[in-house]
């Protein structure tokens, strides 16, 4: 990098014509590290204990409604808590869009089946027929069926 010097070359001093990109690179690397660290934390903010299942992962559709139900039965869309009436109205509005979105349901292991059935029936009554359950991938020891252990 040329910062100029003390020597005179017989004429007027020329201004520095090169851009110093070192500070720019430093800032960009710091931002990259920050985004790498924080990106996994932004995917799901609701802590759930999902059941393990050996099913293969399904591809996410372009338009999906990501529902989460915690152990107490509270329903979340992304990180917003919804009442039953808000859930029904959200389903009704989503059913009117084109293409009709899929519902991805994440439920805690301790969630009552009654609550899951209510959410599923609300989605079906609104016209949302594609409902999928999200589980944690199983480890190698979980892939053996319980009857053969």
pTM given for the model: 0.54
| pLDDT score of 129 | 85
Whether 30 is in a domain gets the answer no
Lowest mean pLDDT, pick from 1-15, 27-41, 92-106, 128-142? 1-15
For residue 4, pLDDT over 60 is answered with: no
Residue 43 · residue 134 · CB < 8 Å: no
Establish if 118 belongs to a structural domain: yes
62 in any annotated domain = yes
Work out the burial of residue 133: count CB atoms within 10 Å of its CB; fewer than 13 is exposed, 13-18 middle, 19 or more buried. middle
For the chain, how far is it from start to end, CA to CA, in angstroms? 68
Closest residue by Cα to residue 119 from 86, 79, 78, 80: 86
Asked if residue 119 has pLDDT above 80, the reply is: yes
Does 24 reside within a domain? no
Domain presence at residue 26:
no
Number of domains in the chain: 1
CATH number reported for the structural domain that contains residue 76 in this entry: 3.30.420.270
Q: Is it the case that residue 142 has pLDDT exceeding 60?
A: no
Whether residue 3 lies inside any domain: the answer is no
Q: Is residue 111 part of a domain?
A: yes
- Average pLDDT of the chain is 79
Q: What share of the chain is helix, strand, coil (3-state, %, to 5)?
A: 35, 15, 50
Residue 12, domain member (yes or no): no
pLDDT at residue 149 greater than cutoff 80: no
State the residue range of the domain holding 61.
52-137
């Amino acid at each position: 990098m040329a910062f100029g010097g003390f020597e005179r070359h017989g004429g007027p001093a020329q201004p520095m014509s090169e851009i110093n990109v070192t500070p720019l690179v430093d800032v960009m690397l710091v931002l990259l590290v920050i985004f790498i660290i924080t990106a996994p934390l932004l995917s799901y903010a609701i802590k759930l204990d999902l059941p393990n299942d050996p099913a293969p992962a399904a591809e996410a559709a372009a338009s999906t409604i990501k529902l989460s139900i915690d152990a107490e039965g509270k329903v979340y869309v992304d990180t917003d808590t919804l009442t039953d009436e808000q859930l029904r109205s959200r389903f009704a509005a989503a059913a009117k869009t084109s293409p009709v979105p899929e519902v991805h349901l994440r439920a805690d292991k301790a969630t009552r089946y009654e609550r899951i059935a209510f959410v599923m029936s609300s989605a079906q009554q609104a016209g949302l027929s594609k409902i999928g359950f999200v589980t944690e991938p199983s480890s190698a020891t979980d892939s053996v069926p319980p009857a053969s252990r």
